[in-house]
Amino acid sequence: MAYVHEIKFFRQEGRLYAALFDTPPFFCNEFWIKNIPAAALGIQTLPMNPELEQKYSVAELGVKPFETSKPYFEFTDAVAKRAWEKGTELLLGKLIA
């Protein structure tokens, strides 16, 4: 899970996209989450003369930081859940036997 704090708009194949970023940890310059079509954000207003490839804080766009997930997080969460379920099943099986 991550929270979007910054958005950078860019064009790809003629469509407008948004790159979503969280606040970076101390050991790196940025924390990219994922790219999505800009229309999926539902943002009603953009700054005057928005520049592509420039990051904007979500506050500049009139929204609060919002939760999203990085595809890698979804995969690791699913793996961790399955490992927990299987481990619990094995442990209970040994306790009951």
Q: For residue 33, what pLDDT is reported? A: 84
Give how many domains the chain has, as a whole number.
1
For residue 1, the Cα-to-chain-centroid distance in whole angstroms is 7
Tell me the backbone φ, ψ of residue 80, rounded to 5 degrees: -65, -40
Is 92 a member of any domain? no
Is 84 a member of any domain? no
Is 41 a member of any domain? yes
How does pLDDT run along the chain (97 residues), one tens digit per residue?
678 889 999 988 888 888 999 887 788 888 888 888 888 877 655 667 778 898 988 888 888 888 777 665 555 555 566 667 777 777 777 777 6
Is 80 a member of any domain? no
Nearest to 46 by CA among 82, 77, 7: 7
For residue 83, the Cα-to-chain-centroid distance in whole angstroms is 24
Is 15 a member of any domain? yes
Is 76 a member of any domain? no
Q: For residue 37, what pLDDT is reported? A: 87
Range of the domain at 47: 2-69
